[in-house]
Amino acid sequence: MALQKTIPKETGIDHSLDLLREGYMFIPNRRHSFQQDLFATRLLGQRAVCMGGKEAAEIFYDETKFKRSSAAPKRVQKTLFGEKGVQTLDGKEHRHRKQMFMSLMEPEQLELLHTITYKHLDLMTTDWEKESSMVMYEEAKKLMTRVACEWAGIPLWASELDKRAKDLGTLIESSVSMGVQYRKGKNARKRSENWMKDLIAQVRNKERNPEEDTALYTIAWHRDLQGKLLEPDVAAVELLNIIRPIVAIAIYISFTTLALHQFPEQKYKLEESEGEYYQLFVQEVRRYYPFFPFAGARVKEDFTWRGYHFKKGMLTLLDLYGTNHDVHLWENPDKFYPERFTDWEGSPFDFIPQGGGNHYLGHRCAGEWVTIQVMKVVLDYLVNRLDYHVPLQDLSFSMVSMPSIPKSGIKLSKVEKV
Ligand code: HEM
Ligand code: MYR
């Protein structure tokens, strides 16, 4: 029998505060000091294993080894994710619900998203031209709220835009927070879920008839494996699981704008490219900048990996940011170098900004193609259709606060269409 090894363990009663203090670097710092892809610690008052790297991602997404029920902390469910949504399901029930999400991601729907994004971006730019300056992150949240609602079949009055964009932004910004900010997050979720519940009820009463291939229609009429419509609160959580993360793309839009400024040589490469460099650039933005730090699951049944014992029920975190910056997987990982993706083999386990594995069968982000599509439209617009100036400002972003958002929000002045 192979020798059982002990998972390297950090001492101390609990390291939740260290996690908050070190943010994106909490897992990479310890993987580095233990010189191992995994280590044991204590988080939220319980034993937890943290791991990273391609092989760790491969086992993390093996559903015979890990499950998601009771994995996401209640705090994160009360703000970011909501309760009883697809993130918490396992097995057949998960696959059936996930299919509902993936049915919205067909090429025609992505094409429509392209058209909608371009339309709203072009309209909003007309307003930006009239102002002496604008803050990209704030404007991008409003842009993406408009895009998300139109694409999902959700009516949005001009008068409610600011309020809805603010609430959706708060859900994202308060996902890892305490005190006042956490309470703001909980309230924003209440209001947003009520908004979604009313719409679902209107569709079910036939007072509202959205197009069949929209998220509103699909989620309102989705039937579970027992043939029952989703409970109204669950349908609301799932509809928000579409529009909230579309608004979260505002963070990647801000990082895209930052990358064009920080690495000006990239702008020339994009201007001269026939289009394929756009894909490489967007992938590199998603790899390089910090966004979703780690994913969480629980051990389903006892198993052994590389001689280490994983005990049933143990909380396990997979290092997403650290895997995207792993020196064993990426040459000069801290260099912004889109060309690295020319030779990338396309493994579902080494480049995991939005999770790994299979979109249909596992918990990998349902909206990865949506994210890439939107980022490309905005990137093309910034490079080829807009002139702007980046005034002096604090362009730093935190490696501690999660999610990280450029501090200034990226202020632009003298915005003009070309
Ligand atoms: C799941 C990141 C955008 C819908 C996830 C996961 C991550 C992630 C890390 C969890 C993976 C796991 O648990 O293993 C992001 C980031 C985004 C983004 C950084 C950038 C804005 C989107 C968009 C949509 C979306 C645009 C929808 C249109 C979902 C859903 C899940 C998910 C429904 C749950 C999947 C499941 O549990 O099976 N996302 N996401 N996300 N994402 Fe995204
Ligand atoms: C979304 O809205 O689903 C996508 C963007 C959310 C970003 C939030 C990043 C921090 C969340 C950390 C939670 C870890 C849960 C195990």
149 belongs to a structural domain: yes
At position 304, the amino acid (one-letter code) is: T
pLDDT at 3: 73
Is residue 294 within 8 A of residue 50, CB to CB? The reply is yes
4 lies in some domain: no
| Alpha carbon nearest to ligand 1 atom 8, residue | 354
Q: pLDDT by residue (tens digit) across 184-213?
A: 999 999 999 999 999 999 999 999 999 999
Q: How far is the CA of 315 from the centre of ligand 2 (A)?
A: 17
Work out the mean pLDDT of the chain and round it to a whole number: 97
Residue 41 lies in a domain: yes
Q: Above 0.90 for ipTM, yes or no?
A: yes
Which residues have C-beta atoms less than 6 Å from ligand 2?
A: 72, 76, 80, 172, 175-176, 244-245, 248, 292-293, 295-296, 402-403
Which residues' Cβ are closer than 6 Å to ligand 1? 86-87, 98, 101, 241-242, 245-246, 248-249, 252, 291-292, 295, 320, 353-355, 363-367, 370-371
Task: Answer whether residue 62 is part of any domain.
Answer: yes
Annotate 144-160 with b (16+ C-beta within 10 A) or e (fewer): bbbbbbbbbbbebeeee
Task: Give the pLDDT mean for 119-133.
Answer: 98
**What is the distance in A from the centroid of ligand 2 to the CA of 80?**
7
pLDDT tens-digit series, residues 330-367? 999 999 999 999 999 999 999 999 999 999 999 999 99
pLDDT of residue 177: 87
Provide the 3-class DSSP secondary structure of residue 310.
strand
Tens-place pLDDT, residues 27-41: 999 999 999 999 999
What's the whole-number mean pLDDT along residues 289-308? 97
- The CATH number given to whatever domain includes residue 396 is 1.10.630.10
Residue 11 placed within a domain:
no
pLDDT beyond 80 at 2: no
pLDDT at 103: 98
Is pLDDT above 90 for 397? yes
369-396 pLDDT per residue, tens: 999 999 999 999 999 999 999 999 999 9
Half-sphere exposure of 197 (CA within 13 A, CB side): 10
**Count of structural domains, the chain:** 1
Asked if 355 contacts 62 with a C-beta cutoff of 8 angstroms, the reply is no
pLDDT of residue 127: 97
| Structural domain boundaries, residue 113 | 16-417
- Give the span between the Cα atoms of 110 and 99, in whole angstroms: 16
**Tens digit of each residue's pLDDT (9 = 90 or more) over 166-191:** 999 999 999 898 899 999 999 999 99
Mean pLDDT over residues 62-80, rounded? 95
Closest ligand to Cα 20: 2
**Measured between alpha carbons, how far is 193 from 198 in angstroms, rounded to an integer?**
9
Mutate to test the pocket of ligand 2, among 175, 241, 318, 397 (most ligand atoms within 8 A of CB): 175
Residue 3 within any structural domain of the chain: no
Give the rounded percent of residues in the chain with a pLDDT score beyond 70: 100
Does some domain include residue 2? no
- The answer to whether position 308 is within a domain reads yes
Arithmetic mean of pLDDT, 130-148: 98
* Nearest-angstrom CA–CA distance, 252 and 140: 10
